[in-house]
Structure 1
């Protein structure tokens, strides 16, 4: 179905003027729009000054006679000085921000023949910046004017780089976009600020894949969503934001989740499934932890990126999806390529724009503005106005910016810490006792992650068996452990160590059975691990609760095992 044509323009007080019958003998630009023999204007959004209301009404009546299918919306533009660039731009900008563009069903033409030169330049700017998601339209009179001849119309695209004033406006818009990507937080780290400025430029000018690297909790998912919102506001995307953590995709279900499947293509496929790539059509797909994808899924993803087409599981025909990809990883994909765990051609395709987001401990100067932002945000969410007293804030920041605070979970740790402070603040004030208690809590949390031989989120050198010893002693009483063969103790301790470091049962199974899984046709690492744990009376939920220091306080005894 063809899209409807919508024209946006100014009333020409001189070119469109004329109140008597003689007006039909002259060429009028706005009338020429609806008089083109092969073009239908379905709607006209017409700006006019208050003093030209009568002329605008007459023009609407004339258009109704010539083109009954054209709806004319008269928009009063009360600008004190039509030659003031800032005032005219602000008026047009405010209108565009409140207008409901429907690019799926309508195409927009910005008429630049009428209006002052300033108004025309502002119209250029709005189209170039994509605040009006369309093209420019110019009408011209016939070479030999005769009554009733409509003249010509041309769709054009202009290079606006020579307009210094407009370039300044673009810079202002870019500053606003950078602030948006940072949620309005006045970050001070020079490296991070330069990084976000470049990401903003790439986000609004490119549809190429982007790779966000960095430690867990550095804000990759948050930044991807903000980029989506920025592009959506510029009418560069129309579809949804689709996010998936690739670490949760395992076995046969990975391809089905991403690429969809046909009914009956495998056991359990009771109906067709579109898949996340098709859900992201005309939108943005964020694949977090892309390094966790299997090699087969990597090959299918490469084809989908390059050709915008792919084959769902069990399908005979390809389907299309035009999505933009942002990938996230906390791994060094260069090392993964060298080890044969990540395809070099896929890495080359997503490595055009790669940005390494620094962790919080590498940006100590940004801790204070982030704390201020989080206090206000959590306070708004809880309906309370909460503040630090000066001494308490100084002590908290001194600790937060010191080597004593590794912030191994990055902004997740900081957000959790501030949430606790705001929640426990009595009378809306965060005082010294509360800060001291929170510092002690954080030190205890990080101490558990950095115990000798333990690998926490910050990374370290703990071997899995040592990590499992603590879980073994948490889950079993001394009698039960003594009743085990030494072989079982050592093996179970090593398995529990891997479980301690893995976010999910599937991830732990993949790590434990990485070598043997390559030789099996049916891969179900999670089920293998679940059955092994069951021999000792264990479940993943019970292990997860023990890792958090929660769950049933009764440890497994020698009598209750198996």
Structure 2
């Protein structure tokens, strides 16, 4: 499809000459005799419905430079070529400074104006392709399907789709590894914002200073090492969705700043003085009981109600066992394809082992187990021997009355088990458990867990 050219000049002869020239090249052409009608056309149109503007610097109703300023504000990416007569070169130079692509002096040869417009359109096409490519490269892998067969998760998914169409902020609750980010992605792709960006941040994984910088961005010189101005996720997610994972671990200071963003729809980058306006849909998630956190004074009540307009509670995997087999098959196909193995499925004994396990790490733990099994499987079926779940671990966590243990003891056993399965690789362990490295280190000290100098994997990360 040929480009659409807008021509604005108060001389009818120039408009007819240019229109005839461009129509002969099979361009779509619209002409305007003054700046007012041109601006009305651009304001009433949509982004991308016109590809380039050829505009005179002298207008009968308003200054051509003023017209250019308004055009660039409305369509900053649209290239503008200005036409100037002898004696108005200074105005043309000013137009270039304001963002015009180039200028041409009247009277101009046919070949010159055609060549200039072709070059401007080609550059515009390359810029558009570059913007699309950057958008694709920076966009996370947002899920377009969720694997389940259980009626329990069907209720969750139906609610997700139902509330996605609104613009309300949503709080997703659930244990670590239940798929909270997956649900946040499903909310985005089923919303009116699906054409814009979906960004996420793990609030528990960053210090307060780094979290604030990542969210709000900073200006050059805001702190030591800030050698350039950096956009934050709030600005990058403008018009889209921002997923705040582990919101329950955010400090009081950052909570206050987030509340301002949600209430006022504006924020101030670190080191700046002027606020920036944003339009963002927030989806937050936590494995904590935020109501209890509010009662204990660790989480702001006003922020809680701002985020908790709608709540989606995810059931743990042990409460939707019908989903274990389809999820396991999904992960097996994914990792078998990645490592180029032909693995058809699981033996009945392996499936029984998967079904009998309690999955304290939920879907994330299941994925980790299947990934390991795919790597170790030699035939075309996964057997129980390559599943890193032992008979003792397969047994229900509710033991005989005389062997009941505390929740604290179960947590200690699970952390130790995952540490051993990952070869005491702390980052991988924290990822499986759905906690930050800082939280894992604290738990290791709290439970006095022994960490050998060298793990099964042969390396340790500190």
Q: What TM-score results when the alignment is normalised by the length of structure 1? A: 0.48
Aligned equivalents of 1:264, 1:35: Cα separation in 2: 48
Quick one: structure 1 residues 184 and 507, their matched pair in 2 at CA, closer, same or farther if it must change by over 3 Å?
closer
Aligned equivalents of 1:383, 1:440: Cα separation in 2: 22
Residues 122-521 of structure 1 mapped to structure 2, 5 A cutoff: 183=145, 185=147, 187-203=148-164, 205-231=165-191, 236-239=194-197, 241-388=198-345, 392=347, 394-402=348-356, 405-430=357-382, 434-435=383-384, 437-439=385-387, 441-443=389-391, 460-462=407-409, 504=436, 506-507=438-439
Deviations 1:129-148 (A, max 9, x none): xxxxxxxxxxxxxxxxxxxx
Aligned equivalents of 1:503, 1:235: Cα separation in 2: 29
Aligned equivalents of 1:189, 1:551: Cα separation in 2: 40
Quick one: structure 1 residues 354 and 273, their matched pair in 2 at CA, closer, same or farther if it must change by over 3 Å?
same
Quick one: structure 1 residues 261 and 105, their matched pair in 2 at CA, closer, same or farther if it must change by over 3 Å?
closer
Aligned equivalents of 2:333, 2:294: Cα separation in 1: 43
Q: Is the 8 A contact 1:286 1:325 kept in 2?
A: yes
Using the TM superposition, give the Cα deviation of residue 244 of structure 1 relative to its aligned residue in structure 2, in angstroms: 1.0
Per chain length, whose mean CA-contact separation is higher, i.e. which structure has more relative contact order (CA < 8 Å, sep 6+)? 2
Aligned equivalents of 2:195, 2:235: Cα separation in 1: 14
Name the SS of the counterpart of 2:228 in structure 1.
coil
Q: What TM-score results when the alignment is normalised by the length of structure 2? A: 0.58
Aligned equivalents of 2:159, 2:270: Cα separation in 1: 38
Using the TM superposition, give the Cα deviation of residue 406 of structure 1 relative to its aligned residue in structure 2, in angstroms: 1.3
Deviations 1:309-341 (A, max 9, x none): 012222211122222211110001001000001
Using the TM superposition, give the Cα deviation of residue 290 of structure 1 relative to its aligned residue in structure 2, in angstroms: 0.3
Name the SS of the counterpart of 1:328 in structure 2.
strand
Quick one: structure 1 residues 546 and 504, their matched pair in 2 at CA, closer, same or farther if it must change by over 3 Å?
farther
Larger Rg: 1 or 2?
A: 1
Name the SS of the counterpart of 1:211 in structure 2.
strand
Aligned equivalents of 1:197, 1:5: Cα separation in 2: 43
Question: Which 4+ stretches in 1 moved above 4 angstroms?
Answer: 34-43, 103-106, 442-447, 449-455, 501-505, 508-512, 542-553
Deviations 1:437-481 (A, max 9, x none): 13564446779x9999998xxxx22399x88xx99xx9xxxxxxx
Using the TM superposition, give the Cα deviation of residue 278 of structure 1 relative to its aligned residue in structure 2, in angstroms: 1.5
Q: CA RMSD in A?
A: 4.7
Unaligned 5+ residue runs, structure 2? 6-29, 55-74, 79-141, 421-432
Q: Is the 8 A contact 1:249 1:293 kept in 2?
A: no
Quick one: structure 1 residues 268 and 105, their matched pair in 2 at CA, closer, same or farther if it must change by over 3 Å?
closer
Aligned equivalents of 1:384, 1:509: Cα separation in 2: 36
Q: Is the 8 A contact 1:211 1:351 kept in 2?
A: yes
Q: Is the 8 A contact 1:209 1:326 kept in 2?
A: yes
- Count how many residue pairs are aligned between Structure 1 and Structure 2: 326
Structure 2 match to 1:490: none
Aligned equivalents of 1:463, 1:442: Cα separation in 2: 16
Aligned equivalents of 1:287, 1:547: Cα separation in 2: 35
